[in-house]
Amino acid sequence: GYYADRWKKMLISKSSPTKTYFDTSDQDPFCMYNYILDITTWNKNIRRGFINVKITDDAGNTVESKMNSEASTFQQYKRVKILTGFYEDFEKISKISLTFSTKTLIGPKHKLRILQMRLKSLNYPER
């Protein structure tokens, strides 16, 4: 792990604003593998909700994303980029599954029609 207090002096001494991201999680072995999910939707009406991502490798191993708790807004033909992370990393992904939820118990269920989707690793951008 990294000790955040050791980074404080280095970050404060920068004259320009600095953003720092650590690839850590709250579960052993404390690694987090970050991805950008880039989605273009096709729904005519605006949809607001949460996306859960599951990735599967060639051997059938599956890992589920740990998402930001903020809902995203999806509009027709508009790209939305979402930061997501996984506790495990698969070098070769054979399947990507998405689940869309509004997290409301009352009201109609909505589907999110996806026109285009891209999942890009931030830890290994060459993938």
What residue ranges do the domains of the chain occupy? Answer: 29-121
* 53-64 residue pLDDT tens: 999 999 999 999
CA distances to 26, 85, 91 from 125, rounded to whole Å, are 24, 14, 12
Mean of all residue pLDDT scores within the chain: 81
Does the model's pTM come out above 0.85? no
Fold entry, domain 29-121: Lipoxygenase-1 (2.60.60)
Sign of CA pseudo-dihedral 78, 84, 89, 95: negative
Nearest to 25 by CA among 66, 71, 64: 66
* 84-99 residue pLDDT tens: 888 888 989 999 999 8
Least confident piece of the model among 16-30, 38-52, 65-79? 16-30
**CA-CA distance, 53 to 63, in Å (whole number)?**
9
